Amino acid sequence: MGRELSDFNYPEAKRIITVSFTSKEIITTITEDNGKINEMKFLLFIIGLALFGKYRVLAEIIRYGIDKGVIKEKISEALLTMSIFSGWPATLNALHILSTIAGELNIRYKKSGAYGYNNGVRYGEQAMKLMYGKQFYETVNELRRYGNDFENFIFDSYSACVGDALTPKQKELIATFILSLSGMKKLLEVHIKNLINNGASPKDINSVYEIIEKYRKKMKMNGLMDKN
């Protein structure tokens, strides 16, 4: 029996900076006039919800995106790209939600290419060892608290580090989104250059800043940003 959305009882974010969107607001923004989903806007909202700890809405939007045809590999890869800039905890919670929903829908990772094995060792395990170094085994022990299924899911998720579900341009759009929200200007300049070098058009960049402005507007309304 699948878990209800109300079962996602991770502590809601209690941070200095927090932003709330309703599912209806997000769905209206990411759904095109023809009824199809704007995949990049969907991924950016997924990341924003994970960053700000809005897990119930995150679960609803992940389910909506999967129903609209966004593949699980793309969601995992987007969240793992986020982890580079925002750390492990937010990513872990978001991947746990994705794992649960995908399990309910019986969606499995592809077992080919980067999502498979190399001489019997999972690519995801290799990627995690490279990223975590000496902390790898400590990290795996922490994952085992969630159960073997989740441990295996994370290994497969980390295959995204060597996968190609997202293009380099899409990963740079995600980086630009996160760095713009966090105000990391120097690093943002680097990734904007990378974004342009990876073929981003003005339309691509504008789509990112459309979502950023929605977040900034909410932050200003909540007194979390200077209104000037």
pLDDT digits 0-9 by tens, 103-132:
777 666 554 444 444 544 555 565 555 555
Tell which wins on pLDDT, 180 or 120. 180
Number of neighbouring beta carbons within 10 Å of residue 195: 22
CA distance 77 to 26: 21
What single-letter DSSP state applies at residue 33?
A: T
pLDDT digits 0-9 by tens, 43-90:
999 999 998 888 999 999 999 999 999 988 889 889 888 877 777 778
pLDDT digits 0-9 by tens, 213-223:
988 888 766 65
Give which of 23, 24, 43, 15 is closest to 170, Cα–Cα: 43
Taking residues 6-16, what's their average pLDDT?
44
Is 149's pLDDT higher than 60? yes
CA distance 40 to 61: 13
What would the CATH number be for the domain defined by 16-108+202-228? 1.20.1290
Number of neighbouring beta carbons within 10 Å of residue 16: 6
DSSP 142-178: HHGGG-HHHHHHHHHHHGGGG--SS-HHHHHHHHHHH
Query: In this structure, is the dihedral angle defined by the CA atoms of residues 100, 102, 106 and 110, taken in order, positive or negative?
Result: negative
The residues of the chain that CATH labels 1.20.1290 are 16-108+202-228
Residues contacting residue 67 through CB under 8 Å, at least 6 positions apart: none
47-79 core/surface letters (b: 16 or more CB in 10 A; e: else): bbbbbbbbbbbbbbbbbbbbebebebbbbbbbb
What value, to the nearest 5°, has the Cα angle with vertex 209 and ends 202 and 214?
150
pTM of the shown model: 0.72
When the pLDDT of each residue in the chain is averaged and rounded to a whole number, the result is 76
CA distance 102 to 140: 21
CA distance 92 to 178: 17
